Amino acid sequence: MKQILWLDLGVGSETRRVSFAGQAVELHRIGTDGNLELARQALRQADGQVDAIALEGMAAQLKLGAATRAHDDGVALRASAAQTPVVDGSGVRDGLERWAVILANRAQPGIFAEKFILMTPGLNHSGLTDEIAKHSPAVRYADPFIFFNLPNFPGVGSKKSLDQVAAPTLEQLARLPFKLIHARAGKPHTRRTAAPFQQADLLVGDIGAIRRYAPHSLKRKTIIVEYATEADIADLQARDASIVVTLMPGLGERGGLGDLPAAVMEAIFVACRARADMPLTEDTYLDLMAGLDWTPHIRYLRAEEAGVNKFAFVIHPLDVRFIHKHKMLGWTQALPDELVETTAAYFPPMYLSKITGAQSPTTGQRVEGYLYSLGATPRQMMQRDEKMTYKQLNQCARMAERMGARIMGLGAFTSVVGDAGITVANEADIAITSGNSLTVAATLEAAKQAVIQMGATDLTQGKVMVIGATGSIGSVCARLLAQAIYNVVLISIEPAKLIELKRKIQQETPGAQVTIATTANDLVSDCDLIVTATSAFGQRIIDISKCKPGAVICDVARPPDISAAEAAVRPDVLVIESGEVLIPGEIDFGYDIGLPPKTSYACLAETCLLAMEGRFEDYTLGRNIEIERVKEIYRLFKKHDFKLAGLRSHGKYITAADVAAKRARAEELRALQRADAQAYARTIQAAGAALAKIPKASKGVKSSRGDMKKWLAIAAGAGIIGAVALRPRANKRGGPRGKSVAE
């Protein structure tokens, strides 16, 4: 059995056994309480009697950044033994800590990302500092505060300032006894400024320094340390810390907790090397490190946070009225709307709320989310350079990473701008999804339910129209609908893409009847179902007066393509919103997203669903949604017991009485059409005349000569989902479920 003497700055003594590389190792710890003479005596007595000697907290070299300085007492101690190798951890600490950061990030992606980091201290943790800085630009050093009790002045503790004073700092530290350099656990917040600790998300470094110098309250802090004992863990838990990560490998019967310092790990490496004459060099240590199979121990100290998958979702105001309604921006009502809308587009991303309570009844997986908002309305977002939106979304991604989210969903026009999420996904470390796969599945399910409620008995005998058919949502809706209904009409302002889409559908679904056109009004009268999924502004998407009696219009767009006033022209036509979703669990969005409680837009639900399944990957991106992804997300939808909410129209639930009234009116029109074609034509003309009195509009934006060409140019038919209502309010839930054409 290998024998190791372990000297530290504590008190008392103990003996314990561990196993390393198949070899038993006995550790004899002796606390010196900082007494150098006691340490020398123990070294001399053990010299030649043990396989290695570890000096914890008694380093021969002090290193801060790129500067190094010998500590005379540490050098003298190492020279006290003539036969047995004496080590202080400097040979393995940097390598093990670098590797540990990589392994911890693999085990818990995003645990370090975009966090405010305070090195406590940075002294003798150069490798750790360099590696963890790759995950966040916000790294500060506590060395000036804990060693010299400096006040929290701006710039103090920054890397730049520390590099400038590293050498003189080490000169002063080298004159101090080890007990003042390597703090042991003691009374929390011992005469040190609290602000740097309070501002940090991660406290990284030595457990003794953190326990002694950090404020008593460590609420929501993540502690990253070289090693920690169970007593240390208990103290941090009592101080309300959230997570502890130990960077050294955990050995022996104590499980995964890394409770041995780097000095002891180096001594174990020395004792267990293949040959006693192997040099104590980096190459020897690297070979031993390569044989380790371990993951840094990550322990959640708050039960409510353990095992919770986190996501983020981005929304934005649909029009200037939502900006006015925000509790902090009510004063903007006194300003011109155009000024408010233009200015809000430049607002930095805003944190809105925490989404809590989502839980899968199938797997028990709990999920939390973070809701963020941009300031731009759809009109402002589409008018401006897409790079502006990309920049703001990347800011959201960094904010979400700091909160621990591992996937972010793009709501409303954030999923339409530019390349529909591809650039954002390429630039962000966090996974990105537009949510459009579940949007398609929910849309088709809602449309199917609506058509059945309106009296259809055989959907395969009907005809469906998709307006905005060449957009991301419209195109995959068209392809799936063609597989179920066979007779589809595709409308888009992009003729070349229409031709391509028609050929694709005919190839995928032989026998499908596909009609293509650039305008809808001459073809709507034969369609039982119309899906409108455009990003058009200031125009009339469809002449509803010409619709078939009892037709269903599924308006996917947010803001909607069809206004309540337009829908009222034909009381027999059922206009519904795309399918909203009920997320399982006691979900609370913490904010009014414009829907009843527990009810989510499908794109938000997709983001939550992917987090629930543990699928932290870029899922739905770009304008070419994969049919297999739509079918896969619907299978996950059913697996985790997500449900379709009740059908809604212009913000209100559609009741059985509403449907009955529309069906009755539709039957009257059909009877009139059969009995008196001229009277029916006059009825349709009257509806058309009423529609003509309503200003042309879509997305709540009225048409104007100056804007029409501009909005027509961007109406490429990309589907959008998601909204933001900037005030809290109460809501309610409801909704059926059933088999979907996406299945």
429 lies in some domain:
yes
Half-sphere exposure of 476 (CA within 13 A, CB side): 26
Contact 679, 671 (CB under 8 A): no
For residues 98 and 77, membership in a common domain is answered with no
What span, in angstroms and rounded, lies between the C-alpha atoms of 725 and 550?
32
The tens digit of pLDDT for each residue in 640-666 reads 999 999 898 988 889 999 999 999 999
> Given pLDDT bands bounded at 50, 70 and 90, which one contains residue 729?
very low
What span, in angstroms and rounded, lies between the C-alpha atoms of 33 and 349?
52
Task: Give yes or no for residue 550 having a pLDDT over 70.
Answer: yes
> Residue 507: which H helix or E strand, with range?
helix 495-508
Bridge partners of residue 490, in order along the sequence: 466, 516
Task: Give yes or no for residue 255 having a pLDDT over 60.
Answer: no
For residues 613 and 686, membership in a common domain is answered with no
Bridge partners of residue 577, in order along the sequence: 555
Task: Give yes or no for residue 284 having a pLDDT over 80.
Answer: no
Reference 517, options 576, 591, 465; nearest CA is: 465
Among 285-289, 488-492, 526-530, 709-713, the minimum mean pLDDT is found in 709-713
**Looking at residue 670, which CATH number applies to its domain?**
3.40.50.720
- What's the pLDDT score for residue 708? 35
- What's the pLDDT score for residue 728? 34
Q: Give me 96's structure tokens.
A: 């093990």
Contact 215, 189 (CB under 8 A): yes
Q: What share of the chain is helix, strand, coil (3-state, %, to 5)?
A: 40, 20, 40
> Residue 438: which H helix or E strand, with range?
helix 436-453
Reference 243, options 217, 213, 264, 223; nearest CA is: 223
What span, in angstroms and rounded, lies between the C-alpha atoms of 557 and 579?
11
Reference 420, options 348, 498, 491, 473; nearest CA is: 473
For residues 568 and 594, membership in a common domain is answered with no
For residues 547 and 624, membership in a common domain is answered with no
Instruction: Pick the last residue of a domain from 32, 63, 87.
Output: 87
For residues 175 and 237, membership in a common domain is answered with yes
> CA-based Rg of the chain, rounded to a whole angstrom?
33
- pLDDT > 90: percent of the chain: 57
What domain count does the chain have? 4
| Residue 627 CB partners (closer than 8 Å, separation 6+) | 476, 479, 480
130 lies in some domain:
yes
> Given pLDDT bands bounded at 50, 70 and 90, which one contains residue 199?
very high
Mean pLDDT calculated for residue range 194-214: 94
DSSP 8-class letter at 701: E
More confident residue, 19 or 743: 19
More confident residue, 321 or 124: 124
Q: Give first-to-last CA distance, the chain, whole Å.
A: 63
* β-bridge pairing 13-20 and 23-31: antiparallel
726 lies in some domain:
no
Mean pLDDT calculated for residue range 528-546: 85
For residues 141 and 167, membership in a common domain is answered with yes
- What's the pLDDT score for residue 697? 62
> Given pLDDT bands bounded at 50, 70 and 90, which one contains residue 384?
confident
DSSP 8-class letter at 583: P
Contact 578, 439 (CB under 8 A): yes
Residue 181 sits at the vertex; the CA angle it makes with 175 and 186, to the nearest 5 degrees, is 140
Reference 311, options 436, 432, 437, 441; nearest CA is: 432
Three-state secondary structure readout of 637-651: HHHCCCEECCCEECC
Q: Is 59 helix (H, G, I), strand (E, B) or coil?
A: coil
14 lies in some domain:
yes
DSSP-assigned letters across all residues of 339-353? HHHHHHTTSPPEEEE
> Given pLDDT bands bounded at 50, 70 and 90, which one contains residue 739?
very low
Find tokens 């996904």 and name the residue.
425
> Given pLDDT bands bounded at 50, 70 and 90, which one contains residue 712?
very low
DSSP 8-class letter at 225: E
Instruction: Pick the last residue of a domain from 275, 300, 325.
Output: 300
For residues 136 and 215, membership in a common domain is answered with yes
Task: Give yes or no for residue 254 having a pLDDT over 70.
Answer: no
DSSP-assigned letters across all residues of 139-173? EEE-HHHHHH-----TTTTBHHHHHHHHHHHHHHH
For residues 317 and 453, membership in a common domain is answered with no
Contact 454, 666 (CB under 8 A): yes
- Angle at which helix 262-271 crosses helix 93-107, to 10 degrees, equals 110
Neighbours of 263 (CB within 10 A): 29
How many Å separate Cα 209 from the centre of its chain?
A: 32
Burial of 709 (0-12, 13-18, 19+ CB in 10 A): exposed
Among 77-86, 126-135, 530-539, 640-649, the minimum mean pLDDT is found in 530-539
Half-sphere exposure of 576 (CA within 13 A, CB side): 33
The tens digit of pLDDT for each residue in 670-710 reads 999 999 999 999 999 999 999 999 887 655 555 544 443 33
> Could you tell me the residue range of the domain that residue 29 belongs to?
2-87
Average pLDDT, the chain: 86
Mean pLDDT calculated for residue range 450-476: 87
285 lies in some domain:
no
Segment of 471-475, 554-558, 671-675, 734-738 carrying the highest mean pLDDT: 671-675
For residues 540 and 619, membership in a common domain is answered with no
Find tokens 């979907």 and name the residue.
740
* β-bridge pairing 599-600 and 581-582: antiparallel
The tens digit of pLDDT for each residue in 575-618 reads 998 778 999 999 999 988 888 888 999 999 999 999 999 999 99
272 lies in some domain:
no
Q: Give me 189's structure tokens.
A: 């917040």
Residue 333 has φ and ψ, to the nearest 5°, of -65, -20
Q: Give me 163's structure tokens.
A: 């590099």
625 lies in some domain:
yes
Instruction: Pick the last residue of a domain from 87, 107, 128.
Output: 87
The tens digit of pLDDT for each residue in 62-114 reads 999 889 999 999 999 999 999 999 999 999 999 899 999 999 988 888 788 88
Bridge partners of residue 224, in order along the sequence: 204, 245
Reference 371, options 414, 342, 334, 339; nearest CA is: 414
Mean pLDDT calculated for residue range 292-309: 83
For residues 634 and 678, membership in a common domain is answered with no
> Given pLDDT bands bounded at 50, 70 and 90, which one contains residue 36?
very high
The tens digit of pLDDT for each residue in 41-72 reads 999 999 999 999 999 999 999 999 889 999 99
Neighbours of 494 (CB within 10 A): 17
Reference 111, options 305, 385, 318; nearest CA is: 305
443 lies in some domain:
no
DSSP-assigned letters across all residues of 234-269? HHHHHTT--EEEE-SPP-GGGTT---S-HHHHHHHH
Residue 553 sits at the vertex; the CA angle it makes with 548 and 373, to the nearest 5 degrees, is 165
Burial of 323 (0-12, 13-18, 19+ CB in 10 A): buried
How many Å separate Cα 228 from the centre of its chain?
A: 30
Task: Give yes or no for residue 733 having a pLDDT over 60.
Answer: no
For residues 423 and 570, membership in a common domain is answered with no
Q: Give me 3's structure tokens.
A: 């024998």
For residues 174 and 62, membership in a common domain is answered with no
| Residue 328 identity (one-letter amino acid) | M
Residue 15 has φ and ψ, to the nearest 5°, of -130, 135
Cis before 495 (ω within 30): no
